[in-house]
Amino acid sequence: MRVSAKGEYAIKAMLDLALCDDGLTLQPIQDIARRQGIPQRYLEQVLLGLKRAGFLHSRRGSAGDAGGDLIHLWRAMSDAVNSVVDATTLDDLRRQAVERRASTKPMYHI
């Protein structure tokens, strides 16, 4: 699975907020950008998308802060991952590996 740069930045920002989230304090965008090594202008666009999707809330102003009620998101993600892992057997993984190997054709380069 490929994750776009925007998706990677969104994941990094959400993780950063989750690690800093006490439920009361908004985090300045410049601090998130600095901690995660994300260009601030690009992070602003990413956070705006997350806000529109309902994952974050923010406050306008010179600080440009963002925060989130992330516990419900992490629970939903954990439940989704657990449902996939719980429903997958070792035999399922073996069959998938065999199918991938069978569909791979050799490539020749000159």
Domains, the chain, ordered by start? 5-68 (1.10.10.10), 72-103 (no CATH)
**pLDDT surpassing 80 at residue 49:** yes
Dihedral of the alpha carbons of 67, 6, 3, 107, in degrees to the nearest 10: -170
With vertex at residue 37, the alpha carbon angle to CA 51 and CA 29, rounded to the nearest 5 degrees, is 35
Task: Classify each residue of 68-99 as buried b or exposed e, where b means 16 or more C-beta atoms within 10 Å of its C-beta.
Answer: bebeebeeeeeeeeeeeeeeeeeeeeeeeeee
Q: Please tell me the distance from the alpha carbon of residue 33 to that of residue 46, in angstroms, as a whole number.
A: 11
- Least trusted range by pLDDT, from 31-40, 62-71, 75-84: 62-71
Confirm whether pTM is higher than 0.85.
Answer: no
